[in-house]
């Protein structure tokens, strides 16, 4: 009888308006309820009946109320939906079209329409791109989407690759553009080095070869290393159509078993590639290296040249010769080159260990992909001396590039790394104090570790104590590598400045530095690159990294389903710890997996998974730490989330 009472309605409005509001991110649960996460410490329960208007990841405003004596969040206003442009699969039902989002936290079918211009006849479970048009929290009766692009049929071999590339709005094919084969700078003088015994060292199947090496003994103390780098900028101008395409892509996208080049393949894998026995234009750098590994920077020379690589060698062949002195298929001139390059490598390694920093050589995992893009096997590759030879040569060349750009122009594209920001530096000092880690002169300080010298001291001390737990905790506090238009230190390499130019076929940053170096060689004026180009390059790098991760996860789930995983025990390293469980890496294959908290201990209030501390404790007793190696068994492979669930044994 009071249902339509105006006074009562007005009273309800007043009471409702007085309820507090909070803003947060929706976190859904498989059981139908959810939480509104305000920050990493505070969250509110969302009842199952209120979850049907929202999605996991939506940013919303909710009012706080009490239901059954429990404070709950009632979704009220949408701030930012998690789904706008998204990937999904088509499903036809009763002459209507629906889309199933490729989003593990939303399992409902979304009704949709098809945008004009899509000529492909869509079938069930075809992959498409869609845009969310209506959201239920915006007072619509249902979610609604529009299909805007067909991606690939569900039975196509390339589904993992094409779906992932579409997810990040990345190109699936090489650039479709033709340019003239004539050099645009053919009037520039190029030194003829075609008689020298340049060699290339790369993977056996590499086609886009962008570096060649030649070493010559100048004296007992000095070896001259000439690094020759392919010169694609000799075929197209800045601002040309192909240049704008390369800038937009920024990188060649290397995915397992599949790559999408930044430049057309006839450029990257043919015309510019430093293939053996063909004459190629290059930018060359002569580097004079002393017996202690020091580079005589004042003697470094950059110049344009012609070379003709004498032989393409694989890492395996070079490493086999150095290790076993096996010289099958290699003549005496090439053997001399390998031996000199090995000396250069050892000199530079010795110098970098003393005056800079050297990365630890961790194994890399590669998918062996068949003709129908099936995963045949996963190969573990340990870096050998041949990898180090090429790496040391490229690092030396990039140090020289940074030096000449800084001295002559005072700008360029520099790779930089600040070590720790101010807040993380304080947290590092707390860790060092907790574990009584000192250096030869006493305690570490914030002011010390935020300098290049202090960072190098810290990294060398951590390498000596070789404690995985402490190392991982401190590495998680390190900043990311960035790029800058002005010279800045690269703490992770232990260098004053670092500018890459050795991969212009694959990286647009290196194309920019090529043009800058050419301007110095030819004594031409050139403008400083604009800041907005950095944002584009950073965004492309992020998307490429995410696409590689997603394809890798997808292929792991396909591969692991084919083996008898339920019968095998795996050694896994703990790489991260979350409130809900532990992330590990299966060392046999390199796949990442997750251990849900209940698999560690069934009584939840006795278990503490501490992300900040990187530990797992039961009743305050330490069970696991980041860096520990444990035995696990695969329990489930979730194809919809491309994830692997394991259980410790």
How far is Cα 59 from Cα 43, in angstroms, rounded to an integer?
Answer: 13
**Residues forming a β-bridge with 66:** 71
- At residue 101, the 3 state secondary structure works out as strand
- Phi/psi of residue 389, nearest 5 degrees: -60, -50
How far is Cα 217 from Cα 211, in angstroms, rounded to an integer?
Answer: 20
**Residues forming a β-bridge with 80:** 59
**191-192 and 301-308: which strand pairing?**
parallel
**Residues forming a β-bridge with 570:** 632
Contacts of 441 (CB under 8 A, 6+ apart): none
**Of the residues 102, 126, 197, 202, which is catalytic?**
202
8 A C-beta contact, residue 256 and residue 589: no
Length of the chain: 649
**Of the residues 102, 210, 243, 510, which is catalytic?**
210
Burial 609-635 (b: 16+ CB within 10 A, else e): beeeebbbbeeeeebbbbbbebebbbe
How far is Cα 242 from Cα 238, in angstroms, rounded to an integer?
Answer: 9
Residue 541 has a CB neighbour count (10 Å cut-off) of 16
DSSP code at position 565: G
**Of the residues 102, 126, 211, 243, which is catalytic?**
211
User: Is residue 315 annotated as part of the catalytic site, yes or no?
Assistant: yes
User: Is residue 210 annotated as part of the catalytic site, yes or no?
Assistant: yes
**Of the residues 44, 235, 288, 315, which is catalytic?**
315
Contacts of 400 (CB under 8 A, 6+ apart): 285, 287, 295, 297, 300, 302
How far is Cα 454 from Cα 499, in angstroms, rounded to an integer?
Answer: 22
User: Is residue 211 annotated as part of the catalytic site, yes or no?
Assistant: yes
How far is Cα 56 from Cα 462, in angstroms, rounded to an integer?
Answer: 40
Q: Which residue in the block uniquely carries the two structure tokens 């995963």?
A: 375
8 A C-beta contact, residue 126 and residue 76: no
**Of the residues 506, 515, 585, 642, which is catalytic?**
506
3-state secondary structure 287-339: EEEECCCCECHHHCEEEEEEEECCEEEEHHHHHHHHHHCCCCCCCHHHHHHHH
- At residue 453, the 3 state secondary structure works out as helix
Q: How far is CA 251 from CA 105, 149, 262, in A?
A: 32, 24, 5
**Cα–Cα nearest to 345, from 311, 310, 380, 383:** 383
Token pair of 517 as six digits: 């170096």
> Virtual CA dihedral for 273, 276, 277, 279, nearest 10 degrees?
20
User: Is residue 192 annotated as part of the catalytic site, yes or no?
Assistant: no
Catalytic residues: 202, 208, 210-211, 315, 506
């Amino acid at each position: 009888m009071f249902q339509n009472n105006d006074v009562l309605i007005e009273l309800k409005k007043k009471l409702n308006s007085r309820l507090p509001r909070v803003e947060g991110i929706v976190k859904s649960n498989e059981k139908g309820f959810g939480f509104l996460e305000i920050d990493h410490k505070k969250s509110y329960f969302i009842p199952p009946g209120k979850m049907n208007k929202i999605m996991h990841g939506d940013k919303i405003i909710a009012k706080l109320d009490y239901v059954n004596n429990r404070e709950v969040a009632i979704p009220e206003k949408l701030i930012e939906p998690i789904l706008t442009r998204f990937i999904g699969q088509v499903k036809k039902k009763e002459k209507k079209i629906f889309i199933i989002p490729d989003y593990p936290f939303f399992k409902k079918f979304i009704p949709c329409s098809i945008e004009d211009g899509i000529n492909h006849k869509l079938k069930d479970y075809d992959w498409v791109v869609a845009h969310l048009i209506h959201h239920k929290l915006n007072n619509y009766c249902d979610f609604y989407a529009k299909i805007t692009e067909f991606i690939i049929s569900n039975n196509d071999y390339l589904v993992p690759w094409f779906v992932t590339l579409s997810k990040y709005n990345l190109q699936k094919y090489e650039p479709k553009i033709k340019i003239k084969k004539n050099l645009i700078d053919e009037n520039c003088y190029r030194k003829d080095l075609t008689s020298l015994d340049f060699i290339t060292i790369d993977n056996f199947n590499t086609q886009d070869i962008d570096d060649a090496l030649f070493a010559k003994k100048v004296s007992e103390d000095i070896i001259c290393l000439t690094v020759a780098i392919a010169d694609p900028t000799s075929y197209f101008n800045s601002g040309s159509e192909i240049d704008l395409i390369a800038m937009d892509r920024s990188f060649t996208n290397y995915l397992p078993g599949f790559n999408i080049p930044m430049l057309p393949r006839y450029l990257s894998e043919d015309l510019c590639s430093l293939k053996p026995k063909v004459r190629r234009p290059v930018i060359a750098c002569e580097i004079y290296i002393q017996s202690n590994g020091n580079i005589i920077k004042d003697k470094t020379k950059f110049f344009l040249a012609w070379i003709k690589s004498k032989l393409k060698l694989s890492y395996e062949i070079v490493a086999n010769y150095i290790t076993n002195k096996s010289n099958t298929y290699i003549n005496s001139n090439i053997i001399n080159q390998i031996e000199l390059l090995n000396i250069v490598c050892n000199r530079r390694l010795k110098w970098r260990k003393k005056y800079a920093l050297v990365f630890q050589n961790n194994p890399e995992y590669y998918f062996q992909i068949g003709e129908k893009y099936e995963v045949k096997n996963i190969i573990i590759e340990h870096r050998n001396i041949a990898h180090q030879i090429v790496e040391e040569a490229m690092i030396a060349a990039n140090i020289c590039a940074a030096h000449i750009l800084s001295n002559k122009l005072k700008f360029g594209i520099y790779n930089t790394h600040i070590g720790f920001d101010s807040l993380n530096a304080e947290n590092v000092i707390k860790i060092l104090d907790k574990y009584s880690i000192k250096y030869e002169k006493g305690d570490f300080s914030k002011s010390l570790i935020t300098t290049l010298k202090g960072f190098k001291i810290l990294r060398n001390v951590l390498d000596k104590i070789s404690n995985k737990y402490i190392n991982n905790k401190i590495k998680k506090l390190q900043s990311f590598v960035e790029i800058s238009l002005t010279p800045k230190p690269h703490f992770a390499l232990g260098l004053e400045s670092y500018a890459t130019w050795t991969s212009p076929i694959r990286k647009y940053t290196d194309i920019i530095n090529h043009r800058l170096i050419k301007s110095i060689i030819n004594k031409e004026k050139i403008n400083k690159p604009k800041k907005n180009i950095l944002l584009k390059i950073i965004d492309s790098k992020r998307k490429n990294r995410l696409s590689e991760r997603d394809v890798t996860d997808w292929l792991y789930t396909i591969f692991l389903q084919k083996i008898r995983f339920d019968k095998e025990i795996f050694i896994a390293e703990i790489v991260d710890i979350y409130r809900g469980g532990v992330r590990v890496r299966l060392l046999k294959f390199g796949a990442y997996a997750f251990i849900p908290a209940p698999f560690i201990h069934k009584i939840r209030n006795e278990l503490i998974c501490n992300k900040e501390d990187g530990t797992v404790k039961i009743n305050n007793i330490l069970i696991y730490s980041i860096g520990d190696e444990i035995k696990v068994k695969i329990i489930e492979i979730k194809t919809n989330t491309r994830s692997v669930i394991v259980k410790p044994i």
